Amino acid sequence: MALRALYNEIRGMKVRENVKKSADQAVDHYIEKYIEASKPDPLFHVCFGGMAFSYLVALPWERAHLAHLEEMERTGGKHH
C-alpha cells in the first residue's frame, strides 16, 4: 500500500511539472507573438475576457432573479 501511495505521489508531481512547463511555454509564445510585436490584440483579449468573466460571475444571480420573476407571474403577485 505504501508503494502505491509513493507511486501516486510521484506521478502527481510529474503531472504538475508538465502543466507548469506547458503553461510557461504558452505564456512565452503569447509574449513573443503579441507583446513583442506591439499588436493591439492583448487589449482585446483583456476586454473580451473581462466581459465573459463578468457574465459568468453574474449568471447565477440572473438565473435566480428570472426564477423569482417567473414565480411571481405564476402566483399572480407583483414584482417590487
The size of the chain, in residues, is 80
Q: What is the dihedral of CA 20, 55, 42, 18, to 10 degrees?
A: 10
Under 8 Å between Cβ of 32 and 38: no
- 58-78 residue pLDDT tens: 999 999 999 999 999 898 877
Residue ranges of alpha helices (H) inside the chain are: 2-30, 41-75
Residue type at position 62: E
Note the pLDDT of residue 59.
95
What are the distances in angstroms from CA 43 to CA 12, 23, 40, 47, 68? 36, 20, 6, 6, 37
| Residue ranges, the chain, pLDDT below 70 | 1, 79-80
Residue 25 has a pLDDT of 95
